[in-house]
């Protein structure tokens, strides 16, 4: 009986050893399969037409490994064996295609000094996207801060897949040039907004310091929102994609940007729906700004006033008789029932609505 027992125990022990060995083998096999898949994927990506850009080739293995890390549940079984885990963070493309925009982007163009228009067209309103950059596969890229901690540029292929589904959180980051002051004649009083280079509504990026710029209320509302809304509406309506790049322009070592270059181009219809290249000025009528530091003070002459006898397009709020310029970014929030479209002079408006007043957001007069 004792012998039988001993044999049984021995058998159990042998079985245990065998089982452990099998399990080890299984793990090894899985790892091997993983490695094979990884190599195959990289090969596929390389043959997918990225070989003509030597600058991109050096970055490509990093880019291809990163998204796979997050996709593979197998990684949780052996997280320490992956060398990629220790690599510095690189730009991730959570969608399909590894995208490697240039680390820096310095568009060359010139614009006139600000007069009274929130933005001007650049390059005949044709964006600078190259054929290589155009894609229907969504991606997001946020350039690294420069040595002065200024944001550099952001680039995305915006589609429904990049748009946020959750609600927007709060922002704590203070971008360079953030010297906040309040002015009565600035809508909501604060001179500066934390301007998202790529709007939250387009890529859902909120408290990302590489996507945040100190911008005047005027830049935000008059110079950026109209283009963000245009792109957002287009993508929602068509399901198409829009190449979208926003580049702040700084003079020398200034901490506050002079303005932003915004480029947009719809991919599926080759620019029929969306095609623009504009420079929006980081100014606030009625405020004198030191661009080296972001410090600011009220213009002793007050906000500039339009010629009351020059005819122009305005929108009047029926409720409070505030008069807006027709291109004011705030008009979209107005109840359509409250909206009066008016073409004429300020003098004519005041003759018809004696209690009318100039809206603080766009200062028509
Ligand atoms: Zn307005």
* pLDDT at residue 73 greater than cutoff 80: no
Distance from the alpha carbon of residue 120 to the mean position of ligand 1, in angstroms:
19
Distance from the alpha carbon of residue 357 to the mean position of ligand 1, in angstroms:
11
Supply the mean pLDDT for the chain: 78
* pLDDT at residue 60 greater than cutoff 50: no
Distance from the alpha carbon of residue 308 to the mean position of ligand 1, in angstroms:
17
Distance from the alpha carbon of residue 236 to the mean position of ligand 1, in angstroms:
25
- Residue 216 sits at φ, ψ, to 5 deg, of -70, 160
User: Band of the pLDDT at 95, cuts 50, 70, 90?
Assistant: low
Per residue in 221-277, pLDDT tens? 999 999 999 999 999 999 999 999 999 999 999 999 999 999 999 999 999 999 999
Distance from the alpha carbon of residue 324 to the mean position of ligand 1, in angstroms:
4
Instruction: Identify the residue with better confidence: 202 or 47.
Output: 202
- Residue 104 sits at φ, ψ, to 5 deg, of -125, 155
Distance from the alpha carbon of residue 249 to the mean position of ligand 1, in angstroms:
25
User: Band of the pLDDT at 278, cuts 50, 70, 90?
Assistant: very high
Distance from the alpha carbon of residue 295 to the mean position of ligand 1, in angstroms:
25
Question: C-alpha distances in angstroms, 337 versus 26, 196, 361?
Answer: 69, 31, 20
SS3 at position 194: strand
Q: Give the Cα separation of 279 and 290 in Å (integer).
A: 20
């Amino acid at each position: 009986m004792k012998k039988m027992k001993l044999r049984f125990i021995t058998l159990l022990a042998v079985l245990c050893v065998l089982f452990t060995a099998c399990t080890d083998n299984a793990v090894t096999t899985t790892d091997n399969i993983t490695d094979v898949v990884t190599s195959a994927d990289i090969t596929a990506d390389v043959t997918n037409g990225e070989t003509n850009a030597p600058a991109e080739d050096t970055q490509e293995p990093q880019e291809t490994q990163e998204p796979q890390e997050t996709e593979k549940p197998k990684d949780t079984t052996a997280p320490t064996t992956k060398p990629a885990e220790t690599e510095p963070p690189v730009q991730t493309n959570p969608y399909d295609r590894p995208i490697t925009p240039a680390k820096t982007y310095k568009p060359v163009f010139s614009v006139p000094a600000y007069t009274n228009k929130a933005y001007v067209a650049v390059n005949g309103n044709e964006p600078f996207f190259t054929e290589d950059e155009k894609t229907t596969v969504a991606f997001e890229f946020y350039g690294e801060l420069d040595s002065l901690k200024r944001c550099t540029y952001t680039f995305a292929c915006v589609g429904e897949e990049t748009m946020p589904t959750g609600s927007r959180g709060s922002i704590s980051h203070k971008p360079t040039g953030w010297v906040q002051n309040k002015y009565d004649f600035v809508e909501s009083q604060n001179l500066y907004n934390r301007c998202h280079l790529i709007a939250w509504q387009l890529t859902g990026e909120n408290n990302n310091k590489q996507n945040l710029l100190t911008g005047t209320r005027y830049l935000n509302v008059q110079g950026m929102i109209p283009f963000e809304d245009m792109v957002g509406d287009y993508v929602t309506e068509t399901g198409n994609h829009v190449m979208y790049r926003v580049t702040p322009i700084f003079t020398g070592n200034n901490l506050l940007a002079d303005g932003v270059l915004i480029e947009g181009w719809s991919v599926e219809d080759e620019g029929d729906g969306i095609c623009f290249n504009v420079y929006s000025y980081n100014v606030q009528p009625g405020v004198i700004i030191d661009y080296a530091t972001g410090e600011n003070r009220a213009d002793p002459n007050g906000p500039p006033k339009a010629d009351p006898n020059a005819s122009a397009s305005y929108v009047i709020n029926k409720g409070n008789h505030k008069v807006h310029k027709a291109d004011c970014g705030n008009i979209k929030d107005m109840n359509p029932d409250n909206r009066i479209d008016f073409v004429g002079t300020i003098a004519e408006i005041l003759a018809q609505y004696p209690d009318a007043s100039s809206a603080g957001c766009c200062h028509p007069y």
